Structure 1
Amino acid sequence: MTTSPAAPSADAEPVPDRVAAEPLLSAGELRVAFPGRQGAATARAVDGVDLDIAPGEIVALVGESGCGKTTLARALLGLVPPTSGRVTFGGRPLDYGARALKAYRKRVQLVLQDPSGSLNPRHTVYDAVAEGLRIHKYGGDERAAVAGALSRAGLRPPERFFLRYPHELSGGQRQRVVIAGALVLEPELIVADEPVASLDASVRGEILALLLRLRDELGLSALVVTHDLGLAWNIADRVAVMYLGRIVETGAVEEVLTAPRHPYTQALLSVLPEAEGAPVILTGEPPDPSRIPSGCRFHARCQILASGEAERAGVAEACRTEDLPVLTGGSGAQVACHWARASGGGG
């Protein structure tokens, strides 16, 4: 289900030009492969990804389950070491030493999908939010820091929530506690994995409005991992559409979601409730990442190839046999599709 657009705070400070800014986080030719068990083929979960996130920018990473987006997010967080490629933060390569990773994760925080699973039921809200401060041996006023984080997350007055337990809170309040636990360390970037998927529709808009307000007030960057293009429309500056380990289309959210060029993006958008025309039903599941097909990795499920449009455009053979290059990082609109390039976009 989609959510209605959330307006940023009227008192928010202007955000720097997110298009012109140098990337805060950058991935280059990133690959993550998992060896198969008992002689099985290697699974290429992330198979060549370039992705940039600028200061104060929200990027939505969109795709079906199994497309590799969560593995990519974990690699960007340093939770999964890449097989090859690089991750840089603030212009410096990510150091995978234990001490360096601990410092990095203070600046880049994870917000998980299910707040019930993220919160220890035996810990009060205060202890849940203070946990990061204690791990990082915070030397300031812990109580003030916890209160400030809860307040920024929309739980006011914060002292009212200090001694509550997760089961005493609503789903939206629990998600705000999780967000406060990330904010208490004053990160520069958050990675939110399906941040509203477990919430009622009435609460989703509130959490999205909160993320937008945090961006505008704090200059906070975010990578939002989601299968919901409606969510991407409501919150993101840019969207990156991922399929079978690669980003297949990327660009400003208005451009990608109003004039999608890749058949996969078109199919994902066609099933939204407000979409015009008949939905495109993709056949089968995404291919196994240990058996990535030749040519365009989407060709076996592609409605454009099945309809004969790719044949008429003279690219059907290329679709089946010629691999497409990894899309480069940056803010410009890009697509990895033989047919879209041949037809000038195919809107």
Structure 2
Amino acid sequence: MGAAGVSAVGSGGARAGGGGRVKRVVPLVLVGVPLLVAVFGPLFVGEASRSVAFSTGGLLGTDFVGRDVLQQVLLGGRTVVLVALVATGLAYALGIPLALVAATSRRRWVDEVLMRPLDLVLAVPSLLVLVLVAGLSSPGSVTLVGVVVVVLVPEVARVVRAAALPAASGPVVEAMRMQGEGWWRTSGGYVGRSVLPTVVADLGVRFTSSVYLVASAAFLGVGVAPDASDWAVMVDRNQGGSYLVPWAVVVPALLIVSLSVGVNLLFDAHSTAVPRTLPDDPAVTPPAGTPIPATPPVDNPASSGGSRQTPAVGSIRGPQRTDDLAGSGLAARVRDLRVVVDGRPVVDGVSFELPAGKVLALVGESGSGKTTTALALLGEAPGDVHGEVATAGFVGFVPQHPSTVLNPVRRIGGVLREVVRARKPGTDPGPVVRDVLTRVGLDPTWGFRRRLPHQLSGGQQQRLVLAQTLIGDPAVVIADEPTTGQDALSRGEVAAQLKGLADRGVGVLLLSHDLDLVDELADDVLTLHAGVPTEARPPEPAPTPAPKPPLTGPTVLTVDGLSVGYRGNRVLDGVSLRLAGDECVAITGRSGQGKTTLARAIAGLHRPSAGTITVDGGVQYVFQDARLSFDDRRPVLDQVARTAVRLRGLSTPDARDEAAALLRTLGLDPATAARRPGALSGGELRRAALARALLARPRVLVCDEITAGLDARTRRVVLDHLADLDLALVVVTHDEAAVARLADRTLAVQEGGLHNR
């Protein structure tokens, strides 16, 4: 993408901008005209004219009883508009709180009690409700508002609840609960904000429904009096003689339609501009150039704050798809890449060629610009991009944090089938899905395909994302820390899969701190330092000192007969554990065996089906996917400091100071932490998550893959800090160096049990 390419994109953007202005103006006109008529129309009709039953004629003629049509139009909008506005507002005022309580309650019976009666109301057609009300009550605006509210509240509650469930059950809410946050901040704040785009988009639909319900009620005599000046009444009373008095039907009908269509267009357009917390469904790749809201891993701390847009798995970006690589044997080429954010170059002078069937490794410490360089291949690098970026075809993206591109409420089999239909129209999805799952080492059976993403381990999620990518037959696959959080066997499987891709002619761009993996796979290595290519190789992990001798302190954690299951599948069965107050136990085992399930149960984030967990003091949990545990709209430093405010009663300034000092100890600059999560790398967010937990001063700390994705230098800093802590430590890890440095004893989770290793 040279200068000409940039220029072409820019001019296209200008044309799109002109079209965008037209798209914004049209809804405003469609809404504005009927609103202006409804609000100001009565001002142009004198009191004397209103009392005249018959007229000798007017600009639009007379209606079926001889009234001036223009005057009736000017007088008849307030009922429709005001009733629809009031009813819609009341429906949302009642429906949103009900939905948030239902979605965020940790007691399932609360959801049942709130939603089942609303489902019964939904089962009754709205027109039947109108008919029943027409026969049981006197007509009037108050009655009409009540009917519309009764019809709309269940619809609003159902839509908002569905939108709130992913956020309500996600790591951010769990992290906030660990911090001691109350319902108003978690549900009314974070979850409520996450459903805002859905509410905005749905608002247009509901207001349109209100308008049509009001109009229908007028036909049935539920709303205003039959002889009132009302647009809906005009259409109803004059339709029989429309060939004689057409304007008495056409004009009010057009005003109702204009108001409804305009509101829908207006709110639909606005909803696309509201940031979303959760990524869109990656099942179907959008057209080239279509942005997909999400929060990608960004490995350069100089990036601007806030979320950025990233492509979904296997998605393609038009400006990078060029034909000049045809016949060259190259899968991708980058020349003089420079990415500038807020006036600062975060990548400067990066050039490389990736031959088809080869593996190129980008290595460097956290913040060196690896992910920013990779995002340039996808057309999603932040800031101003200069230089040339070209690919030979589809580009698949396997992110460091796979959960960011997996829809939390879609079953994996259904998503994979949709990917097949989108990528390979006319192909039977079943055999393709089973084959690709087998190729990545996942269970192809029906039972496994019925699972939701959160029911998979981190390693299984990583392989699932790779499966989605492979369906598209990519020319290039970008693998960002593909062995993060993997056990040795799974790591070997990932390495074999990437090597298999290269053997089939796919160019693989590997971003990794795993230098053993780089040595095993890479045909060429490019090292980045502060965004600039360098010949130096990242430092190898230093030898770790022997662990401190275990002390004999009182027991602070007791697990007796713990059993945990998902949808009837028993993951842990009869697990028992004792942990002293100064002891570290390492939990190891293959991906999918239940290590994270045990860690979450100890932290109180997963309710066991049997057994007891007793903790003498507070417990904190460091999430495996640190990125997803942070609210992407709030500065990281504020979120870290909040723990000390809620659990220790510190003032906000004192908590921020203590948080900044702790982050500095962990090697994270407080100025970097003052940005939003989208501007921090995965390693930086992992350290921030550790600081957030430590500020609670817990007696028991549970760390899930705390060193995964960290460069060698940062890993040493984190391990040294953990080794010096005076608390009980549960470390879930595949990192043998972490086990050697920290663990007083090591246990392995296997076949639902906990065994000495």
Q: TM-score, normalised by structure 1?
A: 0.57
Higher relative contact order (CA 8 A, sep 6+): 1
Say which of 329, 333, 339 aligns to 1:26. 333
- Give the match for residue 85 of structure 1: 387
Please give the residue correspondences for 1:120-269 in structure 2 after superposition, counting only pairs within 5 Å. Answer: 120-133=407-420, 136=423, 138-216=425-503, 218-249=504-535, 262=536, 265=537, 268-269=538-539
1:221 to partner: Cα distance: 1.7
Residue of structure 2 aligned with 1:70, choices 371, 375, 378 = 371
* 2:423/2:471 contact within 8 Å kept: no
Deviation at 1:56, TM superposition (A): 0.5
Partner of 1:295: none
Structure 2 equivalent of residue 306 of structure 1: none
Tell me the CA shift for residue 247 of structure 1: 1.5
The amino acid across from 2:395 in the alignment is: V
| Aligned match for 1:49, one of 350, 366, 371 | 350
> Partner of 2:360 in structure 1?
59
Give the direction of change, closer, same or farther, for the CA distance of 1:44–1:225 in structure 2 (3 Å limit). Answer: same
Distance 1:223 1:203 in 2: 20
Please give the secondary structure, in 2, of the residue aligned with 1:83.
strand
Q: Secondary structure at the residue paired with 2:403?
A: helix
What residue identity is the alignment partner of 2:344?
A: A
Equivalent-residue separation in structure 1 for 2:402 and 2:371 (angstroms): 17
Q: Which amino acid aligns with 1:79?
A: E
Q: How far apart, in 1, do the equivalents of 2:336 and 2:518 lie?
A: 24
Q: How many Å separate the matches in 1 of 2:445 and 2:543?
A: 38
- Structure 1 Cα separation of the partners of residues 351 and 668 of structure 2: 25
Distance across 2 between alignment mates of 1:272 and 1:60: 22
Aligned-partner residue type, residue 24 of structure 1: A
User: How far 1:272 sits from its partner (Å)?
Assistant: 5.3
**What does residue range 84-123 of structure 1 map to in structure 2 within 5 Å?**
84-90=386-392, 107-123=394-410
> 1:80-138 CA deviation, whole Å, 9 max, x = no partner?
27521111223xxxxxxxxxxxxx5xx11100112333322211121332343455573
Q: Secondary structure at the match of 2:380?
A: coil
Residue-by-residue CA offset, 1:7-49 (whole Å, 9 max, x unaligned) = xxxxxxxxxxxxxx732200011111112xxxxxx12011111
Paired with 1:272 and 1:238, the residues of 2 have a C-alpha distance of 24
Determine the C-alpha separation between the residues in 1 that align with 2:510 and 2:543.
21
8 Å Cα contact 2:357-2:501 kept in structure 1: no
CA contact (8 A) 2:441 2:493 kept: no
Q: Which residue of 1 aligns with 2:193?
A: none
3-state DSSP of counterpart to 1:269: coil
Q: Percent identity?
A: 40
1:177 corresponds to which letter in structure 2? L
Partners of 2:501 and 2:542 in 1: CA distance:
27
Separation of aligned partners in 2, 1:270 and 1:172: 24
- Give, as a single letter, the amino acid of the residue that structure 2 aligns with 1:84: H
What does the per-residue CA deviation read over 1:214-243, in whole Å, with 9 as the maximum and x for residues that have no partner?
322x22221011123222112211111111
CA distance in structure 2 between the aligned counterparts of 1:153 and 1:165, rounded to whole angstroms: 18
- Once the two structures are TM-superposed, the CA of residue 211 in structure 1 deviates from its matched residue by 1.6
Secondary structure of the corresponding residue to residue 426 of structure 2? coil
**Alpha-carbon deviation of 1:202?**
4.3
1-side partners of 2:434 and 2:449: how far apart?
8
**1:45-93: CA deviations, max 9, x gaps?**
1111111100011111001111111110000111127521111223xxx
Whole-angstrom distance in 1 between the partners of 2:476 and 2:447: 28
Question: Retained in 1: the 8 A contact 2:475–2:506?
Answer: yes
Give per-residue Cα distances to partners, 1:151-170, cap 9 Å, x unaligned. 22122445453212223333
User: Helix, strand or coil for the counterpart of 1:24?
Assistant: strand
Check 1:242–1:133 CA distance in 2 against 1; reply closer, same or farther (3 A cut): same
- The whole-number CA distance in structure 2 between the counterparts of 1:128 and 1:178 is 11
2:376 maps to amino acid = A
Residue identity opposite 2:368 in structure 1: C
Residue-by-residue CA offset, 1:131-188 (whole Å, 9 max, x unaligned): 4345557332222322222122122445453212223333332221111010011112
Letter aligned with residue 225 of structure 1? L
Structure 1 residues 110-119 or 132-141, which shifts more? 132-141
CA distance in 1, matches of 2:430, 2:453: 19
Asked whether the 8 Å contact 1:48–1:246 carries over to 2, the reply is yes
Gaps of 5+ in 1: 1-20, 36-41, 91-103, 250-261, 275-283, 289-347
> Counterpart of 1:18?
none
1:271: which partner in 2?
Answer: 541
Q: Whole-Å Cα distance in 2 between the matches of residues 77 and 272 of structure 1? A: 35
Please give the alpha-carbon distance, in whole angstroms, between the structure 2 residues aligned to 1:181 and 1:270: 33
CA gap of 1:110–1:131, structure 2 versus 1, over 3 A, is farther
Distance 1:156 1:285 in 2: 40
Verify the 8 A CA contact 1:60 1:236 in the aligned structure 2.
yes
Look up the equivalent residue of 2:369 and give its one-letter code. Answer: G
Tell me if the contact between 2:420 and 2:427 (Cα under 8 Å) persists in the aligned partners. no
Q: Secondary structure at the match of 2:539?
A: helix
Larger Rg: 2
Residues 210/137 of structure 1: CA separation in 2 closer, same or farther (3 Å cut)? closer
**1:261-302 CA-partner distances (Å, limit 9, x unpaired):** x3xx1xx2343559xxxxxxxxx889x9xxxxxxxxxxxxxx
Determine the C-alpha separation between the residues in 2 that align with 1:131 and 1:272: 47
CA contact (8 A) 1:33 1:43 kept: yes
- Paired residue for 1:39? none
1:196 CA drift (Å): 1.4
Q: 1:137 to 1:186 in 2, by over 3 A?
A: closer
Calculate the aligned-residue CA RMSD, in Å. Answer: 2.9
1:319-338 correspondence to structure 2 within 5 Å:
none
Do the aligned residues in 2 keep the contact of 1:150 with 1:158 (CA within 8 Å)?
Answer: no
Q: Which runs of 4+ in 1 moved over 4 A?
A: 134-137
1:140–1:67: structure 2 CA closer, same or farther, 3 Å change rule? Answer: same
Aligned equivalents of 1:235, 1:272: Cα separation in 2: 23
